[in-house]
A and B are shown apart, each in its own frame.
Chain A
């Protein structure tokens, strides 16, 4: 199965700053079949990005995704207070679909 490694494990930033989250795959994710999710405690996970670069419905344009092959990035251009959460990447290139271990974005 494809193993996804997210870095950093924890990212400490202030509102207004730029966040860059990385997701590296153990083998190529062809077709860029990669998604990003935001998860806050006690809430349902939320789809942010699919097919590596496409924002889901209702997702603000400060969220952007890029990447191909084995390296993918989620960028939040200017952090808002509600953006502090755990972020997961997920590949759906090959079965089983797997998730990264998550990056916790915390307020500095």
Chain B
């Protein structure tokens, strides 16, 4: 069974940092591009960042570029999102999502982890 399980969410103060993890199972992780997608309260889905399966190329939404870093460890079937300089508008449920390639549809999703940025 294909599964993505996120962890690492929580409450953090503005300006703080948090690291999200996503453990994958049930498919060949290294062959898949992986992404983070978030949904802020009362808003729709927003793609945040993606990383290719082949060469590890990374891409970011303008709203997080320079503050967030996506990475993966194919030996551990794990995707990461290091979030620094967090702001209130980063508050959201963060989903790990798999796609065949970067800039593609997302055919595998995790259940999400909640990040709350508040003082």
Contacts and interface: CB of A to CB of B under 8 A. Distances in A.
Interface of A: 35, 37, 39, 42-47, 50-51, 56, 88, 90, 92, 94-102
Contacts of A88: 44-45
Given A99-B45, A99-B47, A100-B44, 17 more contacts: A35-B106, A37-B45, A37-B106, A44-B95, A45-B45, A45-B95, A45-B97, A45-B106, A47-B105, A47-B106, A50-B105, A51-B105, A90-B45, A90-B106, A96-B59, A97-B47, A99-B46
A39 B97 CA distance: 13
B76 interface: no
Interface in B21-37: 37
B111 A44 contact: yes
A45 B44 contact: no
Interface in B1-24: 4
